[in-house]
Structures are given as structure tokens and as C-alpha cells.
Structure 1
Amino acid sequence: MRTFLPVLLFLLITCLSYGQSGKLKGVVLDNSKKSIPGVTVLIKDTKIGTQSDSDGVFELSNLNDGNYTLSISSIGFKTKELPVTIAQNEVDLNTITLYEGDEILREVLVQGESENKFSRNQTAYVAKLPLRDFENTQVYSTITNYLLKSQIVTNFDDALKNAAGVENLWTSTGRGGDGAGYYSLRGFSVQPKLVNGLPGLTNGTINPANIERIEVLKGPSATLFGNAVSSYGGLINVVTKKPYVGTGGELSFTTGSFGLNQVTGDFNTALSKEKGIYFRLNTSYATERSFQDAGFRKSFFVAPSLSYKVNNNLSFSFYGEITQAEQTNPMFLFLNRTAPTESKNMKELNYNYKLSFTSNDLTLQNPTQNYRVEMDYKLSDTWQSQTLISKSATSTKGYYSYLFDYGILGNDTFSRFLNKQNEYTGTSDIQQNFIGDFKLGTLRNRVVLGLDYFTATATSNGTGYAFYGNVTPEGGSSGDDPFTPKVVETTAYPLSTAAVDAVLARQGVSNAKSKYNIYSAYASDVLNLTNNLSVMVGLRLDHFDNQGDIATGEDNYNQTTLSPKLGLLFEPVTDKVSIFANFQNGFTNVAPALVGNPEAGPQTIKTFRPEQANQIEFGIKTNIIRNKLNATISYYDIRVKDQVMTDPTSPFNKIQDGEIYSKGFEIEVNANPVRGLNVRAGYSNNDSKTTKTDYTDILDKRPLGAGPKTLYNFWANYEAPGGKLKGFGLGLGFNGASERYAINYVSTGDFMLPAYTVANASLFFQAENYRIGLKLNNAFNKEYYKGWSTIAPQTPRALLANFTYTF
């Protein structure tokens, strides 16, 4: 027996060791036979998995004998499932090819150390087909969810501070029609109007609880996206969180200065594993008070999403965002654009920025809904059909007021005007894309062919604006209406709903409804002439049908525009360095105008061509040291022509002859120099001016929407990867801008907002299932301002604390 037991034990251990000696290995390539790093390789229904290395190679060892299904997935590629049998030996799968497709259903990622958490190398939205940043001739910034978490970001304005060359002009007012925030980008104003590559609206600030990443596309982008959602400076695309294979989520609570309290939840589960149906829900409730004497915002947000993978060829997805928000509209000081300003800077203005000049009794409600349905069907290994439908609806109800310096009463007196808003905007969009990846001879083509129908309807049932007292920047008040001859020394204008309603009762109520439609067709091809040289060619045919006020046909008009795009990219060092150049186009539809001297007879309608903006850009992108250093350096030159302006020889005529010139350069760096350290930095310099116009007030002047000439941002985040301090980390960073004009017309003189640099810092502890963090914004309590013919004080020092539990 003593002899038999050791032999039995030896045989048992041998059998166990042989039973777990199976090994799987292979290499993952794309359709052009290039290796794909970071691919998730997962054995289904287990927690066993790995990721491919920089050469696309993966290996799984110590596997029991048996039959398995191997799931191989990567963002931007179609998931592949392979049956595998292991029987006490090594199974070499050799090469596995993944075909590119949209980001429909994300596989759960195997936990591991990411090389560069502040950058993202591939997206299916920027080019409307899966394309690595390194292969794209267009410049864009990506703000990842990890970056937002490391900074404890609770609002959209703070999120966009991470994109090089982007500056907030003014925050969301909640006003109907254009209540979202405005940002300067490459010398032009832009609003966030794109969600997952489709039109999405908001009359309030965008909730970051459902943001997977933000993509800021630089330069005119009308060829693929049209002019309804883009500007000459670029566009902003918000990519939302999507369902993934698995069950999990997180709960998070953030509290901080000025009454900030925010609870967010994220839950993902399978409704049917067998049928491939997965559901994800993101939700948030937040309240926040102003740093001023009045002002608040509260919002409830819920975002359901559903993915149904019918089979390997067919997938459906549904995404929704529903927001209920109430806020006081922020009170900017609007400077007069036609009369001289009394003060030339903040010191002369003597502004008490702690005064809000409003009341918590006067609020706006901003319910917003965005819905999208996507259907992807694999026609073959080289072609995919993508059908997209989106609907958006946003409303504004409540009291909106503004302060304007009419230059009549003197002493930098700002008159308050307010109305009662009752506005609605709704949009619908239908797109049909055919996406191909194929070879003609030896030349690889990645093609998107698309049709797009977009319609927008707006209704206005608000009151007219009523005068409601005056204020001075230091806090004085009076009741003298600047537009009446009578001088009123003192009059009480209480900021209450009852008092305001009594004044607005004498105002008329509008009943207006307008609508326009856009019909478009577009095509784009990324053609690989060699392994290192590619060309991107694109063209859009856009037909704009304006129905204007639906009660009359007098304001109807339509225009048809061609919008081309061309890019060239060369990789002197394959997958490491790319040199690019591009030509990009944007346009704006211009309404007809009445021309002719009315004293000489009836005026006539004159039509115009669409206004055009063309960009020439070149630069370099790097992806070196195994994705540890991603950098983009670019120079651009944008020229806007065909602006409609008054004829210098006749005030009764309009000519299409105005021009704007905007040029500059940008640098953006994402680095992971050592394990645990991620760095993001950006710098931009923009020179912008109106070069041709008969309106001499702005000739050779920098447009107010161009923002500051110089912008810079930096953020470094370090998390100890091991040792006794494992999980502990800190973050340090700053944002800054050069001085900029709040107003700079010849007739008004200049009002200059000062330059600023704002520092931020954070401390955190990251454990397996939870994270605790502290964030100090505006650490040195810098007093600074932003504006666009306005003066808007920014938030002083604020401390935030966050606790997040992951399950």
C-alpha cells in the first residue's frame, strides 16, 4: 500500500498536468495583411482571455482538453468566432483575418495594462468607415473616457478643454434654437451637434455620464457630414457608451463646491445570451449651484441602449438619451456692437463677478430626447450595408433674459430684457451607407457610398422681449428705459415670476413654424497606391430645400452644392510616421435678399451661391515606441469666400464678395513614457481676420468667434503600477489662453479680455472594484473671463470628491 499510493499520486499529478497542457496561439491580421495589436481573444463562457501584442501575436496556455469557441474582437472590426478543439497538444491557428466594420457590439475587454490610455487609434465615425488615425489625412482630437474619469469631469465644457485648439466662447444658455454651448475652433464658432456620427440636439449642456469619447474633427468637414452639423472650423462628435458582451457596471457619486452633487449609474447585462441581445443603461442625477449670488442647474438623464446580434452577418442597435433639465440662464454682459464702449478692459469696467443679475425664481426647462437605430448587414467579406435613423427633439420653456449695453444711458449701464420662451426644435435623419474594403488588382480600396436625408422643424410660441430695468457691473440699478424720452430715476423691478409675468402680459405671443430639408449623396475612397502611400478622395452632392415659414411661400428657396475633399498620406516609416496633406471644403446656404431702391419701384429678389470655405493643410503624425508616443503636428490655411455683403456703391444692393482668412498650426501629444504615467498636451496658434468686405467696421479685424489667438492644455496622470503604493496616483495639469477681444470693431473700439492660465490637480486610489478621487479645479483661484462680444466670469477654485464602485 505504501508503494501503491505514491505511484497513484504520481499518475494523478501527471494526468492533471497533461490535462491542462493545451495551448492556443495565432496572429491576427487585417484585410491588408497588417498585424492588429491589442485584439481581445476570449474563450466564450469563461474568464480566460488575452490580448494580441504589437505584432498581432497571442497565446493562451494551461488549457484543459475540450471543445471551445474562441471570440476574437477589436474596436472597428467585425467580431470573429472560431470553434477550437484541444487534446493534449498545442493548437496553432496560424493567421486570423478580421474584417473592418462599424462599432456595433463591443466585446468585454480582458483586464490588463493599456499602453496609452489618453489616445485612441481607430474610429468608424471620422471617415464614416473604420480607419486608424494614422491612416487618416484629416486631423482630429480624441478625448477618452479614461481621461474624463482621471479628471473627474462633470460637465461638457471641462471635457473639451482637453482638445487642442478648442475654447469655450460661451456656455449653454438653454435658449431655444441655439441654446447649446459655443466653442471656437480654427478661427470659427462651432456647436456640438453630432452623436455617434448622426445629428443630435441639445438646448442645455451635454451630460458626460454617457460619453465613451469625444471626437473633435478639425477643419471644414461638409463632404461627409454636410453643413447642418459642422462649421468651417470643424465639428464635435460625441460617441456614447454601447452594450458589450457580459454583465457589469458601476455606480458613482461626486460631490463638491457650490452645491455639486451627482449620482451616476452604468449597468450592462444580457437579455438573451443565446440570441445575442445585450442591454446597457446609463443614468445620472445632478444638482449644482452657482458661485454667484444666484443660479443653479439640476438634471435627470437616462440613456438606454440595446444591441442585437442576430448572427455574424446582421446586427441591430438602438441608442437613446433622454434629459430633463432645469436651470437659470447664465447672465453674460453683452457689449454694444455699434456704439463706442466706455470701458476698455476689466479693470475699467469694475465688474463684481459674484453678482448674477438674475434670480432662482426665473428658470428655463430644457427637455431633450435623442434616439438612433442602426442596422448593419454583412453583404460579403468585402461589403457591408449600414442603415441609420436618428430623431432628436429639444424644447425650452421658461424665462430667458439678457443684459445689453445700448450706449445710451452711460456709466456702463446694461439694460435687462427678458421674455417667456416656448420653443421646440425637432430633427430627423436617415442615412444609407455601403462600406467596402476590396482590391482592384493590387490596389486596396476602402470605400463608403452614402445617401442622407435630413429635416429640421422649429416652432416658436414665446412672448416678445420686454424691458425690465438696468444694472451696472458693480451692482447698481435703475428703471430708466433707454428707448423712451421720459427719465425714470428709480423703479423697482423684482426678479420674481409674478412681477415678470405682469410685464410680459403686455407682450405679444409668436406663432411661427419653419422647416428645411437637405438631400445628399456622398462618396469617399481611401486608395492604397502602395503599402506606404494612400490617397483619400471624397465628394458630396447637397441639395438644400428651405421652406422657411410654412405659412407662406415667399421665403422659400433651394440651393445645390458640390463639396469635394482630397487627401494624400505617405508613411516613410511604416506604422510609425505618416506625412499627410489635405484639401477640405465647407459651405453655408445663403438666403435670397430683396434688392433695389424702393423709391425707384418694387424691389426684386436676388439669389446667391452658397458661401464656400476651402482648407489646405499638411502635417505629420507619429505612433512610435509601441504606441507610447502619439503626436500630431499640422499647419492649416482656411479661406472663406462668397460672403454676401452690402454693395459699396449702393446700400440697396447685395454682392457676394466677402472673404475671411484663417491660418495656424496645432500640436497635440499623447504619451506613455513609463508604466503608469499618461501625458496629454496641446498647443495651437491661430491668425484670423476679415480680408475683404465693404463693412469697414470689421475689415482686417479678428472675428469675435475666432476666440484667443493662442491656446494650450496639459494633463499628466500617474498611477503606481506596483509596490506598497500600488493603486495610488495623482494628476496635474493646466489650461490657458492668450488675451482675446470681447469686441474689436472700428466704431466701438477694443475691449480686451485678459490672458489666463488655470491649474488643476487630483489625488486618487484605484483598487480592483472601486476608485476614490479628489480633484482641485482652478487651484490658485484665478479670476478669468471668456466671451464672444460678451463678458462671462468663470468658476473660481472648486474641490470635488468622487467615489466609484465597479462590479
Structure 2
Amino acid sequence: MKHILSIVILFVSFQMSFAQSASLSGKVTDNDQTPLIGVNVIIKNSTKGIQTDERGTFKLDNIASGSYTLSISYVGFKTKEIDFNLSADQDLSLETITLYEGNEILEEVVLDVNRKNKFSRKTSAYVSKMPLKNIENSQVYNTITNQLLVSQSVNTFEDALKNAAGITKLWSSTGRSGDGAGYYSSRGFAVQPQLVNGVAGITNGFINPSNVERVEVIKGPSGTLFGSSVTSYGGLINIITKKPHSGTGGEITVSGGSYDFAKLNADINVSPSDKLSFRINTGFQQEHSFQDAGLKKSVFIAPSLSYKINNDVTLNFSYEASDNEQTNETFLFLNRYAPLAFNSIDELGYNTDLSFTSNDVTISNITQNYRGEVAWKISDQWSSQTLISGGLAKSLGYYTYLWNGSDALFNLYAQDTDSRTKTLNLQQNFTGIFNLGDLENKLLVGADYLDYNIIDNSSNWGYLHTINIDGDLVYGEPAINEENLSAALSGLSYLNSDISQNVFGAYVSDVINILPSLSVMASVRYDRFDYQGDRNTAGDDDQEYTESTFSPKFGIVYQPILDELSLFANYQNGFSYLNPQYITDFNTGDVTLQSYDVEQANQFEVGAKANMFNGKLEATLSYYNINVDNKYYWATQTQDLEVNSQGVELEVNANPISNLNIHSGFSYNDSEITDSPSATFLEGNRYGESGAEFTYNLWADYKFFKNFGIGAGFNGQSKYDTMVDYKAVTGSFDIPAYTIFNASIYYETDTFRVSVKGNNLTDETYYSGWSTVTPQQQRVLLGTFSYKF
């Protein structure tokens, strides 16, 4: 009996072994037949999966006979599914499988952790709105990855942008109506973060980085693809939010630190089926100022959904709502119309512990943004993307600022803010990859419509008091509270303004691969701008202004080492519509409505991009030259400035040895007003939006053994004259140079991460400003615990 049982067991084992002996193999490439490394290859509804090796190949062994579906996915490429049948003991080869680049929808969060060079990202679906790798894109952009944000324990959007080469802060977010988002300088021109997931979004207050997957800083005039509403001549800032992905799990994060900083965040992803993924991200954050008064509070919720109707059509929807409250950050506005009583920080004698405000007076921003997308794979060569997005932002509460009226005295002015900003954006893109003869074409054809409405019922400005730089009262009411501010504003009129702008744009862009190593790009955009408003014109008819423009773009890329080194050059165009202005003739007293031409900026740029040593070194070096020939100058209300901005930028992401990741950047900018007939005293000056000439940043993260790691780095900039636009009248006032050192230590496993971070370790006193002086954060210690499930 024992012998019979042994024979039966042996026979069953043999049968099971025989049934499981089938295998599946193949190779995954992109459309250029370049092998793709690290592609996820998974047999659906099973535990079997693998990633492609350095040759792009894979092999799955011990598969039982039957019918299956193979899912092949990679960041920046359309997921492909292949049905196949296996019989017993069969070795099935799928030969070469080609993935086509397209919109990022699923898997990106999961796949990011597999990159060795974790601070680099070689592909984006947003920068060119078509499938282009960074190394074959003639435009420069910096990507601040999620891994970098986590390594640095970033809790503010301002800290995130310190990682972008050439970006320097001019103003923090004020939350006030109209222009409440922060201002940054890029390539010599002011820019605000107004792009969310590739379309116009409202960021009129505190941007919570807990819902930010990464940030893309796209350099140079980018009007051809993005229009004028979200760009500046120096570039644009695109915020990529977190999206649903395959799998169920999430992360809960708790943080605390100096100045009563506290943060709680929950990020949960659920995939009840292969077709449906849902994600919800929500959190609360608060902190007090390092000064004697000041606070910020923020709560947000961001649900998102992805539904795969079939292999060709996917629906994506995301929504984010936030409620932010903050005191007015200390802005010392320097006098623009008379000689300053001080020309340096030392002469000003400012004790940065003083905020000159009160925690009883705050401004609130309630914002909502939504985005719906239909991603349709028409064929292996063509895809369609249909977008509808919009937002609503409210500014409610008191906004105050300090104006240097005379000598070393500052007047506090206040406004009862009540405004709403609404946007609606429609966009349709078709992208195709096809051959005309022997030439491969990557073609984008698109159109967009943006409707922008600002309703402002805020009060006019009222005066509260005058203080000296030590905070001593000179005139007026001593206390900053709601009662005194309400009294100061009583009897004043309200703006009662309703302004609408809508822009229709159509664009086409074609990248032609003449040779595998040589490609050229040509793009053009048509824009029609319509403005309607009634600002400050009691009894007059509504203003109306319509203008149209064309915006071209050209580029060339040559790769002396294919997929590893490219040389590029580009011509880019940017433009800006100027709203009509009422002009007063002081000789006659007549008031007339003046319209203006469209401002135009043109950039020429050359440089090199590298992606070498199997992706361990990614670098971009470029020289740019931007000219604006018809810049509007607010003081004279004329359009005759000529501005030249040129410079050099370098960004490096490296993984020189295992577990060491380095991110660094450097920039030099030379900006000059070359001609100004109506204000000749400006000629030869650095342009006021330019910020510092030199900026630099570095962050290194090294992981010891398996779980323990450290991070350290610095960022800084050279000094600059914050009064450069006015120095012929006021004299100069330099914002001093600074270098800020930061470091962290962490321990992480597959289920949790705990870290301690120190910002501004040397407790440096430093400032930002744009005809203003604002002290920046002093030394901060932060502790963070994240639980992953």
C-alpha cells in the first residue's frame, strides 16, 4: 500500500510539474525600438509578474496552461494588454512589444520607487503635450520629483521650488484678491504657479504640498503651447497632483516641529477592480511665525478617480478643495517716489522678531479646482485627450501692508477683501506618431478655451496708523484688530468690479525625426483674446477689448550619442495681452481709455542634455537670450521698454554609487533695460522682476545599509537691488546674499518612515523682496512619521 501511495504522489507531483512548466518571454521597446528597462510585466488576476532587464527582455516561468491577459505598463507610456493562450510545456515568445508614449494616468506612483536615480525624471506628458523624452526635447525644464520632496520633508511649496535651478522667490503668497499667489523670478521675469496638471488652475493662497506628486518648472517663453494666461516670459510652473493607481494601500503622515508646526495627512488608494481606481488625499497643517505674531492654517481634501472603460478609453477625474487662513506676512513696502532714509538692511535697523501685525486679523482663501479627462487610444499611432477643468477662489478678510511714507516711518493700510475668481478651461488634443516616407513625425494638434472672471467687492484702502521701525506708535490707532480696522474703513467706497476675460487658442506642433539622431520641431499657435470690464468707471459703458496674435516655436536636437547625449537649440515666443487703462491728461484733466499692443518676447537658446551611465547621470546645461521689445511700464503707462535677459543654467541629477542620490542646480542671469524713451532713467538698470544674478542649490541623500539614511544640502543666492526700478529717485536697497544649510536623518522600512529634518541650521537671517523687504524663516526642526499600508 505504501508503494502504491508513493507512486500516486510521485505521479501527481510529476503532473503538477508538467502543468506548470510553460513559460512566456518577450522584449519591450519604445517606438524607436529602444529597449525599455524596468517595465512592469504582469499576468492579470495572478501573482506572477516581473520587470524588464537592461536589454528590455523578460521571462515568466512555471505558468499553468490556460488563457491569460498580460498587462505591460511603464511611466509616460500607454499601458498595453495582450491576450495569450498557453498549453502544457509550451515556451511562448511574444517577440518585440512596442509601447507608445502618452498621457500619464496609472502606475506612476508605484513605479517611481524603482528608479535608481530617484531625483531625475526623463519623461513628462505635459511639457510638450506630446510623447517626447527629455533628451529629445529642445526645451529646458526642471522636475522636482516626489522622492526629492520626501527626502527633504518638504511642507511648503516655497521650499519645493528651491530645488529648481534659477528660481528665486520675490513675494510669498498674500492671499489677497487678484494676485494672491506667490511670485517667483525665472530667467529674469516674474512668474506665478498657475498651471495644475497641464491646464490653468487657481493657486491663490497656500499650496499644500501633501497633494503634489511633482513640480515641473518649464523654462522660457512658452506661449505657443500654453497661451499667455498661465505663463511669463521666463517660463511657467506646472503642479502635478497625486493620481489614482493600481493596487490598494496608502500612507498616513504625522509631523510636528518648531513654532507649533503640526501636520496630519492621509493618502489612501483603492482598486476594487482592474478597471477602477480611487484615491483620496486629505490633510490639515498649521504653524505659527518665528516672529511675535503670525499664523497659517490649511485643510484640504482631494479625491480622484480613474475608470478604464476598455483597453482604449480611460476616464480620469480629480478635485481639490482647500480652506486656508493666514495673517498678513510682513511686507515692508519701500517708498518708490522719494529718496529712502536707509539704503541697506543695517541702516534700516529692522528687528526681525517684530511682525507689526496681530493674530486677530487674518485673510482666508477658499479654493476649488476640478479636472476631468477622457484619454482615448484611437489606434497604435493616434490618441486623443479631452479635458474640462475649472476652479473657484475666494479671498475674504483683512489684508494689510506697511508703506514707507517718509523718513524711517511706515504707514499701515488695510483693505476689507471680498473677491471671487472663477475659471473654466476646455482643451482638446490629438497626438499622432506616423511616418511620411522615411521620416517619423510626432504631431500634436490642439485647441483650448479659457474663461476667466474676477468679481471684486473689496473696499478701497484705509489708513490705520504710523509706526517707526521699532514698532513704536507715531500716529493713529495703536491696536491692529477688527474693530479698529472696521473704523478705519468706514465710509470708504467699494470697488464693485466685474472683469471677464476669455481666450480661444489653436495650436499645432510637429517633431520630425530626419535621422535617429537628428530631429527638428516647428510649432505655431493662434490666440484670440477678449476682455470685458468696468473697473472704476462710474457711469461709463463697460470696457471691451479684443486682440489676436500668432506665436511660433522652433527647435532642433542632435544626439551624437543616441539616447545619452543631445545638443539642442530653440527659438521660443511668448506674449501677453494688456488690459486697457484709463489715462489722465494732467494739462486738460481729460480721461481717455487707452488700449495697447500685444507684448511679445522671443528667446534663443542652445545647450546640451545628458542621460548617461545607464541613467545614473542626468544633466542639462543651457544658455538663453530673451528679448522683449514692447514692454509696458506701469509708472508712465507707456509701452516702450526694451528688456534683454540672458544667462546660463545647469541642473544635475546623479546616482554615482548605489544608494547615493544628488540633485543640484546653478544659474546666472544678466538682465538689462536696454531702451526706455519715456523713462530714460531706467536704461541700463537690471529689470525689477529679475531677482538675484546667481542662484544655487544642492541636496544629497545617502542610504546606509538597508533602512538608515541621511540627507544634507544648501541653497542660496547673490545680493540684489530690490529698488532697481526706482533707484534713480529712491537710491538702491540691497537684499543681502545668503546660503542656507539643511540636513535630515531618517529610518525607513516597507511599512514606515521616521525622519528628523533641520532647516536653516545656522539660523541665518535672510530676506526676500520686490520693492519690499520680507524676513524669511529662521531655524526650524521637524519630525515626521509615515505609516504605509
After TM superposition, is the score higher than 0.5? yes
For the pair 1:586 / 2:574, whether they are aligned, the reply is yes
1:784 alignment partner, one of 766, 770, 787 = 766
For the pair 1:743 / 2:727, whether they are aligned, the reply is no
Q: How far 1:243 moved relative to its partner?
A: 1.0
Whole-angstrom distance in 2 between the partners of 1:607 and 1:169? 29
Q: Residues 32 and 187 (structure 1 numbering): CA distance in 2 closer, same or farther, change over 3 Å?
A: same
For the pair 1:474 / 2:470, whether they are aligned, the reply is yes
SS state at 1:406 partner: strand
Once the two structures are overlaid, the 10-residue window that deviates more, 209-218 or 607-616, is 607-616
Q: Is the 8 A contact 1:40 1:109 kept in 2?
A: no
Q: Which residue of 2 aligns with 1:482?
A: none
Once the two structures are overlaid, the 10-residue window that deviates more, 225-234 or 781-790, is 781-790
The letter for the 2-side match of 1:713 is N
Q: Residues 513 and 108 (structure 1 numbering): CA distance in 2 closer, same or farther, change over 3 Å?
A: closer
Whole-angstrom distance in 1 between the partners of 2:153 and 2:129? 31
SS state at 1:498 partner: helix
Q: Is the 8 A contact 2:497 2:533 kept in 1?
A: no
1:338-487 to structure 2, matched below 5 A, reads: 338-407=337-406, 410=407, 412-479=408-475
For the pair 1:715 / 2:695, whether they are aligned, the reply is no
Q: Which residue of 1 aligns with 2:597?
A: 609
Q: Which residue of 1 aligns with 2:228?
A: 227
Q: How far 1:111 moved relative to its partner?
A: 9.2
CA deviation digits over 1:732-778, x for unaligned, max 9?
11001011112132111111111111010000111011111111111
Q: Which residue of 1 aligns with 2:165?
A: 164
Q: Residues 460 and 603 (structure 1 numbering): CA distance in 2 closer, same or farther, change over 3 Å?
A: closer
Q: Which residue of 2 aligns with 1:483?
A: none
Q: Which residue of 2 aligns with 1:672?
A: 655
Q: Is the 8 A contact 1:515 1:549 kept in 2?
A: no
Q: How far 1:13 moved relative to its partner?
A: 4.9
Q: Which residue of 1 aligns with 2:289?
A: 290
CA deviation digits over 1:287-307, x for unaligned, max 9?
111111111111110111111
SS state at 2:682 partner: coil
Whole-angstrom distance in 1 between the partners of 2:576 and 2:707? 51
Whole-angstrom distance in 2 between the partners of 1:597 and 1:289? 48
Q: How far 1:10 moved relative to its partner?
A: 5.0
Q: Is the 8 A contact 2:75 2:111 kept in 1?
A: no
For the pair 1:519 / 2:504, whether they are aligned, the reply is yes
Q: Which residue of 1 aligns with 2:69?
A: 69
SS state at 2:160 partner: helix
Q: How far 1:6 moved relative to its partner?
A: 5.9
Once the two structures are overlaid, the 10-residue window that deviates more, 670-679 or 26-35, is 26-35
Q: Which residue of 2 aligns with 1:128?
A: 129
Whole-angstrom distance in 1 between the partners of 2:60 and 2:328? 57
SS state at 1:330 partner: coil
The letter for the 2-side match of 1:457 is N
The letter for the 1-side match of 2:687 is P
Q: Is the 8 A contact 1:73 1:107 kept in 2?
A: no
Q: Which residue of 2 aligns with 1:706?
A: 690
1:504 alignment partner, one of 489, 493, 499 = 489
Q: How far 1:356 moved relative to its partner?
A: 0.8
Whole-angstrom distance in 2 between the partners of 1:40 and 1:89? 23
Q: Residues 370 and 528 (structure 1 numbering): CA distance in 2 closer, same or farther, change over 3 Å?
A: same
Once the two structures are overlaid, the 10-residue window that deviates more, 609-618 or 9-18, is 9-18
CA deviation digits over 1:348-377, x for unaligned, max 9?
111010111100100111000001111122
Q: Is the 8 A contact 1:641 1:660 kept in 2?
A: yes
Q: Which residue of 1 aligns with 2:631?
A: 643
Q: Which residue of 2 aligns with 1:626?
A: 614
In structure 1, the gaps of 5 or more residues are: 480-490
Q: Residues 205 and 18 (structure 1 numbering): CA distance in 2 closer, same or farther, change over 3 Å?
A: same
CA deviation digits over 1:703-758, x for unaligned, max 9?
221111000000001123xxxx4210000110010111121321111111111110
Q: How far 1:47 moved relative to its partner?
A: 3.5
Q: Is the 8 A contact 1:108 1:245 kept in 2?
A: no
TM-score by length of 1: 0.93
Q: Is the 8 A contact 2:206 2:298 kept in 1?
A: no
Whole-angstrom distance in 2 between the partners of 1:422 and 1:591? 22
SS state at 1:146 partner: helix
1:559 alignment partner, one of 541, 547, 559 = 547
SS state at 1:508 partner: coil
Q: Which residue of 1 aligns with 2:478?
A: 493
Q: How far 1:601 moved relative to its partner?
A: 10
Q: Residues 107 and 128 (structure 1 numbering): CA distance in 2 closer, same or farther, change over 3 Å?
A: closer
Whole-angstrom distance in 1 between the partners of 2:66 and 2:642? 71
1:98-177 to structure 2, matched below 5 A, reads: 98-106=99-107, 109=110, 113-177=114-178
Whole-angstrom distance in 1 between the partners of 2:248 and 2:748? 21
In structure 2, the gaps of 5 or more residues are: none
Q: Residues 334 and 594 (structure 1 numbering): CA distance in 2 closer, same or farther, change over 3 Å?
A: closer
Q: How far 1:502 moved relative to its partner?
A: 2.0
1:289-308 to structure 2, matched below 5 A, reads: 289-308=288-307
Whole-angstrom distance in 2 between the partners of 1:337 and 1:295? 27
CA deviation digits over 1:308-362, x for unaligned, max 9?
1111121111111100111112121111122111111111111010111100100
Q: Which residue of 1 aligns with 2:195?
A: 194
Whole-angstrom distance in 2 between the partners of 1:261 and 1:91? 56
Q: How far 1:15 moved relative to its partner?
A: 4.3
Q: Residues 400 and 455 (structure 1 numbering): CA distance in 2 closer, same or farther, change over 3 Å?
A: same
Q: Which residue of 1 aligns with 2:681?
A: 697
1:802 alignment partner, one of 772, 784, 788 = 784
Q: How far 1:114 moved relative to its partner?
A: 2.1
Whole-angstrom distance in 2 between the partners of 1:342 and 1:587? 38
Q: Which residue of 1 aligns with 2:42?
A: 42
Whole-angstrom distance in 1 between the partners of 2:785 and 2:60? 35
Q: Residues 172 and 656 (structure 1 numbering): CA distance in 2 closer, same or farther, change over 3 Å?
A: closer
SS state at 1:367 partner: strand
Whole-angstrom distance in 2 between the partners of 1:795 and 1:604? 46
Whole-angstrom distance in 2 between the partners of 1:29 and 1:334? 57
Q: How far 1:88 moved relative to its partner?
A: 2.5
Whole-angstrom distance in 1 between the partners of 2:110 and 2:169? 34
The letter for the 1-side match of 2:58 is F
Q: Which residue of 1 aligns with 2:239?
A: 238
Q: Is the 8 A contact 1:697 1:747 kept in 2?
A: no
Q: Residues 471 and 697 (structure 1 numbering): CA distance in 2 closer, same or farther, change over 3 Å?
A: farther
Q: Which residue of 2 aligns with 1:485?
A: none
